[in-house]
Structure 1
């Protein structure tokens, strides 16, 4: 696929108007306050795995609505003192999978908390967290579930779960609550951006080729899923455009980025049809914090830099977590 989006020089300057409405902050303050009325009830059960270099815990905690959310906590074996932590969010369609697929951050000496994404995990790594909330008509997938009202939208629940995941990680005695970063690729990157805005005292964030950014442009620029779900929904719900994009504005990572101040490391791929580079740069360029950087992969699609970007993160993140 040749380059299809703006030239790189224009991407670096691309800063479209934000879409957040006046009640954006109040919406999220109320949402999180309601979630915190439920006891976090974070439970960490040791898991017997054939791995000698790490200790693994099966995690359950209360997310949106008090619903149980699953996760993994992976620690370097024999950890006795609190460690800085990396909280990771997963890509679209996937769940937390199996513990042995989450070794990189523990191998680097960090506590690693992996959040299972509610209702996902049937299209890749297995998930173990149901989404007990129903929704109205939607396109196949998750992006248009509850699309008629932000209070009903699927990502209201997911982003709340994600904030509570940080709180659950911080509750463990072997996690240094003052040194926590969030990471994720694609959907996980979009969630990480939201959490960086909603949890103001994080040490760092590292979203790779993030999804959930600049919905208005994404829905008209690419015909690849998941953004295509928006167009398919509107194709059969004529005249609902304004209402749909109003709902999505409450979950747009571009709007969250304008409220996030932690140091951040983004990545974008210039042939990425799943998360077009202009949508990623829109979030990056609106980031409220002064320390922000972008790794650009010129001839890559949605795999982005893959292991190369992971190597960049492994060099970048320790400086923010170990200081």
Structure 2
């Protein structure tokens, strides 16, 4: 599809109309306090993958509600001192996959931790292995409306909490340097990265690519592509619940997490992206307060964004921070 969103000048000035809840900070402070009542219990089990240049650990840690969450920690094979740490979050429907799918960051001499996304991991890639044991009210198939009846029940409350705990778990390994921790991810992983950037105050940098979960009021009405379309299809059946649904979503809107970002940031967007429209990405980017921020814009790309070209851009960019 050709350009469908705002012009470049309009994007650079765009601000979301998403209303931040008055108790946003209190909600997340209490959520994380409750999660930390459970012992992190991060366990690292070395696995034989047949790979010779890296050492891989099968990781389990306690996320939201103390529920077990999986991940992979990958280190250069001969690591003998704490290394810069890249914590990665994955796209919608995917899981942590298999270790050999994630070799880029360890190949740079960094430690790499990738978090499984609870309840997902059955749509693409090598799969996932983390259940979501929490039930909820009726929802449209997918994850976007699970628990949308109330902020405390919403699916991404659990995911974002898992993500903060994932950073804590990865930092607990003796061969990772907590002071040089970077969060990265694409699409849903980019949205999770923004949330972590707003909830973890001491990251060295963040790099959300074509991020999802931003500017819900605009996204839900601008694109008819899934996953955002799940919201509209839910409200098509549950007439009259738009205001309540948007109120719940406001606690999870990347725009509000972005406003709390305290690390250097490299965003990316694609101007033909109908999955995560560029205006929703610019809404988060423009809200990010740190003066050291940049956004790579891929003019003729859809949701693949910059693909391998943007991976190369991130590799160059991160040299300044880890």
Q: Which runs of 5+ in 2 are unaligned?
A: none
Q: Specify the alignment match of 2:245 in structure 1.
A: 244
- 1:135 aligned onto 2:141: no
The answer to whether the 8 Å contact 2:89/2:114 transfers is: yes
SS of match in other structure, 1:268: strand
> 5+ residue gaps in structure 1?
none
Aligned position for 1:8: 8
TM-score of the pair, normalised by structure 2: 0.99
CA contact (8 A) 2:72 2:99 kept: yes
2:186 matched residue in structure 1: 185
**Post-superposition shift, 1:318?**
2.2
- 8 Å contact kept, 1:159–1:195: yes
Matches within 5 A, 1:197-208: 197-208=198-209
Q: Is residue 2:37 matched to residue 1:69?
A: no
- What residue is the counterpart of 2:29 in the other structure? 29
For the aligned residue pairs, the C-alpha RMSD in angstroms reads: 0.6
Q: C-alpha offsets along residues 151-183 of structure 1, whole Å, 9 cap, x if unaligned? A: 000000000000000000110000001110100
**d(CA) in 2 for partners of 1:257, 1:17:** 14
CA apart distance, 1:18: 4.2
Q: Is the 8 A contact 1:189 1:208 kept in 2?
A: yes
Instruction: Tell me the equivalent position of 1:20.
Output: 20
Does residue 124 in structure 1 map to residue 98 in structure 2? no
Deviations 1:236-293 (A, max 9, x none): 0000000000000000001100011100000000000000000000000000211110
How far apart, in 2, do the equivalents of 1:45 and 1:318 lie?
A: 30
Alignment of 1:80 with 2:85, yes or no, is no
Taking the TM superposition and a 5 Å limit, the aligned residue runs for 1:277-288 are 277-288=278-289
Mark the CA change 1:18 to 1:291 in structure 2 (over 3 Å): closer, same or farther: farther
Tell me the residue number matched to 2:59: 59
Residue-by-residue CA offset, 1:80-110 (whole Å, 9 max, x unaligned) = 1000100000000000000001000000110
For residues 106-137 of structure 1, the C-alpha deviation after alignment (integer angstroms, 9 at most, x for no partner) is 00110000000000001012010000001111
Q: CA deviation at 1:17?
A: 3.4
Alignment: residue pair count? 321
Q: Does 1:150 align with 2:123?
A: no
Residue 44 of structure 2 corresponds to 44
Alignment of 1:229 with 2:218, yes or no, is no
The answer to whether the 8 Å contact 1:261/1:290 transfers is no
Rounded to whole Å, the distance in 2 between the matches of 1:19 and 1:121 is: 32
